[in-house]
């Protein structure tokens, strides 16, 4: 068991390295949910020095949970991908401070706007197809043939993460958040194509 956990960096040891926009990828202990996957994102509150997990999940919708509590209760493996921002290479303190403040404010605006939003209604055909079509990818000339055009307004997990990054100027505006699934945030090639002003490191297992 010790050898199996050798590469895990426990949350308390990595907490200081995490920031708003850190992507969380999960592997549930149950096979069915592990195959589906789950994505969440970190939000750091400067006023309280608290790391929070922003996520959307079935039966609850969009929630914000203290990260320590969330990690301890998640039934499975947890991985994080830590972002680095292009503005850090500019070397101009005023520019860095302004950019950092702006994207933090945008993140706060996003959370206030969408906190409590519903998950797709899986009791309806439209809600089910929203999730199914997000998982189906068949692109010809860079156009996905399986796209959702229904009327369900719910937000699923990876969709929420991409919406946040897009709202804060870290994902290109032409990106359709409804077409993203949990595996997409684990593939650097897929994610790298849409990122602006930032990039993500490799996955680090924290549980």
pLDDT tens column, 21-79: 999 999 988 876 777 789 999 999 988 889 999 999 988 999 999 999 999 999 999 99
Long-range contacts of 58-64 (CB under 8 A, 24+ apart): 58/119, 58/122, 59/119, 60/119, 61/116, 61/117, 61/118, 61/119, 61/154, 61/155, 62/114, 62/115, 62/116, 62/117, 62/118, 62/155, 62/160, 63/115, 63/116, 64/111, 64/115
| Confidence at residue 7, expressed as pLDDT on a 0 to 100 scale | 87
Helices and strands counted in the chain (H then E): 7, 10
Is pLDDT at 80 greater than 50 in this prediction? yes
Q: Delineate the domains of the chain, giving CATH numbers in brackets.
A: 11-205 (3.90.1720)
The two three-digit tokens of residue 162, written as one number: 């991409």
Tell me what percent of the residues of the chain surpass a pLDDT of 90: 49
For residues 102 and 124, give the distance between their C-alpha atoms in angstroms, rounded to a whole number.
39
């Amino acid at each position: 068991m010790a050898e199996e956990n050798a590469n895990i960096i426990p949350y308390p040891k990595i907490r200081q390295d995490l920031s708003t926009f850190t992507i969380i990828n999960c592997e549930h202990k149950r096979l069915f949910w592990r195959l589906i996957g789950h994505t969440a994102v970190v939000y750091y509150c400067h006023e309280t020095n608290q790391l929070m997990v922003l996520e959307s999940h079935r039966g609850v919708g969009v929630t914000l949970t203290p990260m320590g509590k969330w990690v301890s209760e998640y039934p499975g493996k947890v991985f994080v991908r830590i972002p680095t921002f292009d503005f850090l290479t500019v070397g101009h303190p005023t520019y860095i401070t302004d950019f950092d403040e702006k994207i933090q404010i945008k993140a706060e605006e996003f959370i206030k706007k969408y906190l409590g939003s519903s998950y797709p209604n899986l009791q309806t055909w439209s809600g089910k197809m929203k999730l199914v079509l997000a998982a189906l990818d068949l692109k010809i000339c860079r156009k996905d043939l399986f796209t959702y055009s229904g009327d369900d307004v719910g937000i699923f997990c990876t969709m929420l993460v991409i919406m946040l990054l897009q709202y804060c100027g870290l994902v290109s505006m032409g990106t359709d958040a409804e077409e993203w699934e949990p595996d997409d945030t684990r593939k650097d090639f897929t994610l790298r194509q849409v990122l602006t002003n930032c990039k993500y490191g490799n996955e680090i297992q924290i549980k």
